[in-house]
Structure formats: structure tokens, C-alpha cells
């Protein structure tokens, strides 16, 4: 069984359990105040394995499954036996890094809570984009495939804009930094992937000119 599927099953199981038992959910969600003042460090990770309702869970896990299986197989091609370790680090690192901004902002606010794997999912998605920048992605209600690198640019712009604007309950900064972590992590492991990424994007544009 793939790591992607294992993580997905664990997340679905814990999310449903937390929805049925609010005491468990309260113990697992991200609360920067509890992390800092009560030393509940596990919350850095645990919050990504529970979600706020079925749609939140379904969207995150669908996107994760779609990109995670491909990234996991790509890692296997590059790293062989170390691939599972690097994939786990990508996912867990995405959780931690994407939560750092919220921790900084809310470490003295006992009323701030968040849940969800969006930051980790963004890390995996952007690892995919770095490997396969010209692959067409089909967004909701758009029948035309958009190249992955363009989706990535739009994603980063949107999350940055929404984070600065505020006024929503969505942690857009977590999405942004999770995506950045995914790119940086891959480039640390495979510095040459940047040139391969650029070559693929340039070839994509050249195909329109030729």
C-alpha cells in the first residue's frame, strides 16, 4: 500500500472520529497558545489529520491523492529506498512550515484554532508542479486544461492576496508557505530540477511560436 493511501486512510479515520467526539477534536486541533504555554508540541502535526466537515476533508484528500501518488512514484525513481522517508518529510514538513505563520501571530491568543491538511497538500502539489510543470490541470468548471506551472503562479498570487486582505476563516498564509516549502524541499534534494523545470516551461512556450 502506498504512503499516500496510508496517510489518506489515517486522516479520514481521525477526521471522522474527531467529528463524532469534540473532546478529541479539541485535543488535536492547532492552538498556538497551547503549544507555547502548555508545551503541547504534538499539535504542530495532529491538526492536519482532522478537518472541519466532510467537504473540507474531501477536497483536501482528493487533491492529496491526485498529486501524492505521482510525487511518491517520482521520488521512488530518484531516491529508491529513501523515497518513503523523503515523502514523509515532505508531508510532515509541509504541515509544520505552513503553520509557522499562524503560530507567530496567535501564540498568545487562546481562542485561535485551526484544522486541516491544506498546507501539507500544497507542499505535495507544488512538488508535482516542479516535476511536471506543463501537465494540464483541470480546475472546477473549467473544461480546458491549464498547465501546472500557470496554476501554481495563480495559486501563489491568490493565496498571497487573500492572506493580506484577510476577512475569512481560511488560513491562506498556510497554503502559501506550504507551497513554498514543497518547492524548496525538492530543490534541496534535487538542485538540478530547477533547470529541468525551466527547460520544460520554455519548451512549452516555444511550441506556440514554432
pLDDT in tens, 103-159: 998 899 998 888 889 999 999 999 999 999 999 988 766 678 889 999 999 988 888
| Count of domains observed in the chain | 1
* Structural domain span for residue 40: 3-209
Give ∠ CA 77-174-35 in degrees, rounded to 5: 105
Contacts for 137 with CB less than 8 Å, ≥ 6 apart: 145, 146, 147, 148, 151
pLDDT in tens, 27-86: 999 999 999 999 999 999 999 999 988 888 999 999 999 999 999 999 999 999 999 999
Domain harbouring 58, CATH code: 1.20.1540.10
pTM for the structure as a whole: 0.93
Amino acid at each position: 500500500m502506498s504512503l499516500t493511501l496510508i496517510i489518506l486512510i489515517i486522516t479520514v479515520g481521525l477526521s471522522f472520529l474527531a467529528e463524532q467526539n469534540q473532546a478529541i477534536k479539541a485535543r488535536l486541533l492547532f492552538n498556538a497558545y497551547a503549544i507555547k504555554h502548555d508545551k503541547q508540541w504534538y499539535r504542530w502535526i495532529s491538526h492536519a489529520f482532522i478537518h472541519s466537515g466532510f467537504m473540507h476533508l474531501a477536497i483536501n484528500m482528493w487533491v492529496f491523492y491526485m498529486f501524492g501518488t505521482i510525487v511518491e512514484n517520482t521520488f521512488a525513481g530518484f531516491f529508491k529506498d529513501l523515497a518513503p522517508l523523503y515523502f514523509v518529510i515532505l508531508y510532515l514538513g509541509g504541515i509544520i512550515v505552513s503553520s509557522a505563520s499562524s503560530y507567530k501571530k496567535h501564540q498568545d491568543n487562546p481562542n485561535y484554532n485551526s484544522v486541516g491538511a491544506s498546507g501539507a497538500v500544497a507542499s505535495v502539489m507544488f512538488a508535482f508542479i516542479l516535476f511536471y510543470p506543463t501537465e494540464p490541470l483541470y480546475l472546477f468548471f473549467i473544461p480546458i486544461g491549464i498547465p501546472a506551472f500557470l496554476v501554481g503562479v495563480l495559486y501563489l498570487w491568490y493565496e498571497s492576496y487573500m492572506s493580506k486582505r484577510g476577512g475569512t476563516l481560511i488560513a491562506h498564509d498556510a497554503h502559501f508557505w506550504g507551497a513554498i516549502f514543497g518547492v524548496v524541499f525538492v530543490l534541496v534534494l534535487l538542485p538540478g530540477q530547477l533547470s529541468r523545470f525551466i527547460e520544460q516551461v520554455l519548451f512549452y512556450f516555444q511550441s506556440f511560436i514554432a
